[in-house]
Amino acid sequence: MNQHDVIRLNMQRFLKTEDSLDTYVEEIEKSVVSELLIEFPECKRLKSDSSLAAALEQIFLQTGKGFIFILDEWECVFRIAKNRKDAQKRYLDFLRSLFKDAEYTELIDKDEYSGNTDIGMGLRYAYELIGQGEERDR
Protein backbone atom coordinates (compact mmCIF):
# COMPACT_ATOMS: atom_id res chain seq x y z
CA MET A 1 0.00 0.00 0.00
CA ASN A 2 1.20 3.54 -0.82
CA GLN A 3 4.14 2.15 -2.81
CA HIS A 4 3.26 4.13 -5.94
CA ASP A 5 2.33 7.71 -6.57
CA VAL A 6 0.07 8.56 -9.50
CA ILE A 7 1.08 10.91 -12.30
CA ARG A 8 -1.90 11.78 -14.45
CA LEU A 9 -1.13 13.67 -17.63
CA ASN A 10 -3.53 14.99 -20.19
CA MET A 11 -0.99 15.12 -22.99
CA GLN A 12 -3.10 17.45 -25.10
CA ARG A 13 -2.87 20.12 -22.40
CA PHE A 14 0.75 20.64 -23.41
CA LEU A 15 0.04 20.67 -27.15
CA LYS A 16 -2.21 23.56 -27.98
CA THR A 17 -1.21 24.10 -31.62
CA GLU A 18 1.12 22.60 -34.18
CA ASP A 19 3.53 25.45 -33.40
CA SER A 20 4.10 24.05 -29.90
CA LEU A 21 5.41 20.73 -31.30
CA ASP A 22 9.01 21.91 -31.11
CA THR A 23 8.85 22.45 -27.33
CA TYR A 24 6.18 19.86 -26.46
CA VAL A 25 8.41 17.26 -24.76
CA GLU A 26 10.42 19.88 -22.91
CA GLU A 27 7.24 21.50 -21.57
CA ILE A 28 5.97 18.16 -20.26
CA GLU A 29 9.28 17.42 -18.57
CA LYS A 30 9.63 20.90 -17.08
CA SER A 31 6.09 20.86 -15.70
CA VAL A 32 6.25 17.40 -14.13
CA VAL A 33 9.78 17.82 -12.74
CA SER A 34 8.78 21.10 -11.08
CA GLU A 35 5.86 19.33 -9.38
CA LEU A 36 8.12 16.46 -8.33
CA LEU A 37 10.52 18.94 -6.70
CA ILE A 38 7.64 20.19 -4.55
CA GLU A 39 6.32 16.72 -3.70
CA PHE A 40 9.72 15.17 -2.94
CA PRO A 41 11.82 17.85 -1.20
CA GLU A 42 13.75 15.11 0.61
CA CYS A 43 15.33 13.99 -2.68
CA LYS A 44 18.44 16.13 -2.60
CA ARG A 45 19.81 14.87 -5.94
CA LEU A 46 16.65 15.92 -7.76
CA LYS A 47 17.36 19.04 -9.84
CA SER A 48 15.07 21.38 -11.77
CA ASP A 49 16.99 20.74 -14.99
CA SER A 50 16.75 16.94 -14.68
CA SER A 51 15.03 15.01 -17.42
CA LEU A 52 11.78 13.47 -16.27
CA ALA A 53 13.20 9.95 -16.52
CA ALA A 54 16.25 10.94 -14.44
CA ALA A 55 14.04 12.66 -11.86
CA LEU A 56 11.79 9.62 -11.51
CA GLU A 57 14.80 7.34 -11.20
CA GLN A 58 16.30 9.52 -8.44
CA ILE A 59 13.03 9.54 -6.52
CA PHE A 60 12.76 5.77 -6.83
CA LEU A 61 16.36 5.24 -5.70
CA GLN A 62 16.04 7.59 -2.73
CA THR A 63 12.52 6.72 -1.54
CA GLY A 64 11.67 3.34 -3.06
CA LYS A 65 8.43 4.84 -4.41
CA GLY A 66 7.34 4.04 -7.91
CA PHE A 67 4.80 5.76 -10.11
CA ILE A 68 1.61 4.82 -11.85
CA PHE A 69 1.14 6.85 -15.02
CA ILE A 70 -2.27 7.67 -16.43
CA LEU A 71 -1.84 9.16 -19.88
CA ASP A 72 -4.94 10.74 -21.32
CA GLU A 73 -4.84 11.76 -24.99
CA TRP A 74 -1.40 10.17 -25.40
CA GLU A 75 -1.95 9.89 -29.16
CA CYS A 76 -2.76 13.59 -29.73
CA VAL A 77 0.65 14.24 -31.29
CA PHE A 78 -0.28 11.96 -34.17
CA ARG A 79 -3.49 13.88 -34.84
CA ILE A 80 -1.93 17.33 -34.61
CA ALA A 81 1.43 16.52 -36.20
CA LYS A 82 0.27 14.34 -39.05
CA ASN A 83 3.05 15.55 -41.33
CA ARG A 84 5.76 16.06 -38.70
CA LYS A 85 7.53 12.71 -38.46
CA ASP A 86 10.38 14.36 -36.54
CA ALA A 87 8.01 15.58 -33.82
CA GLN A 88 6.28 12.19 -33.67
CA LYS A 89 9.60 10.38 -33.30
CA ARG A 90 10.82 12.80 -30.61
CA TYR A 91 7.60 12.22 -28.67
CA LEU A 92 7.80 8.44 -29.00
CA ASP A 93 11.43 8.46 -27.92
CA PHE A 94 10.40 10.50 -24.88
CA LEU A 95 7.69 7.98 -23.93
CA ARG A 96 10.04 5.07 -24.50
CA SER A 97 12.69 6.71 -22.30
CA LEU A 98 10.11 6.94 -19.51
CA PHE A 99 8.66 3.46 -19.68
CA LYS A 100 10.98 0.96 -21.32
CA ASP A 101 12.60 -1.19 -18.64
CA ALA A 102 11.94 1.45 -15.96
CA GLU A 103 11.71 0.09 -12.44
CA TYR A 104 9.78 3.11 -11.21
CA THR A 105 6.65 2.86 -13.40
CA GLU A 106 3.36 1.12 -13.66
CA LEU A 107 1.43 2.15 -16.73
CA ILE A 108 -2.28 2.50 -17.37
CA ASP A 109 -3.28 3.41 -20.91
CA LYS A 110 -6.52 5.35 -20.80
CA ASP A 111 -6.93 5.40 -24.57
CA GLU A 112 -10.63 5.53 -25.21
CA TYR A 113 -10.21 5.78 -28.97
CA SER A 114 -8.40 2.59 -29.86
CA GLY A 115 -9.75 0.36 -27.10
CA ASN A 116 -6.16 -0.85 -26.74
CA THR A 117 -5.03 -1.16 -23.14
CA ASP A 118 -1.41 -1.92 -23.97
CA ILE A 119 0.48 1.31 -24.61
CA GLY A 120 3.53 -0.68 -25.67
CA MET A 121 1.55 -2.07 -28.56
CA GLY A 122 0.42 1.45 -29.39
CA LEU A 123 3.98 2.73 -29.32
CA ARG A 124 5.15 -0.06 -31.62
CA TYR A 125 2.33 0.72 -34.03
CA ALA A 126 3.10 4.44 -33.93
CA TYR A 127 6.78 3.79 -34.70
CA GLU A 128 5.74 1.68 -37.67
CA LEU A 129 3.50 4.50 -38.91
CA ILE A 130 6.38 6.93 -39.02
CA GLY A 131 8.75 4.37 -40.51
CA GLN A 132 10.97 3.98 -37.46
CA GLY A 133 10.11 0.41 -36.45
CA GLU A 134 13.21 -1.22 -37.88
CA GLU A 135 15.55 1.53 -36.68
CA ARG A 136 14.09 1.41 -33.16
CA ASP A 137 14.59 -2.35 -32.87
CA ARG A 138 18.30 -2.23 -33.73
pTM score, whole prediction: 0.73
SS3 for the chain is CCCEEEEEEEHHHHCCCHHHHHCHHHHHHHHHHHHHHHHCCCCCCCCCCCCHHHHHHHHHHHHCCEEEEEEECCCHHHHHCCCCHHHHHHHHHHHHHHHCCCCCEEEEECCCCCCCCCHHHHHHHHHHHCCCHHHHHC
pLDDT band at 112 (very low <50, low <70, confident <90, very high): very low
pLDDT of 104 over the 50 cut? yes
pLDDT digits 0-9 by tens, 28-86: 999 999 999 999 999 988 999 999 999 999 999 999 888 888 888 888 888 888 888 88
pLDDT band at 125 (very low <50, low <70, confident <90, very high): low
pLDDT of 124 over the 90 cut? no
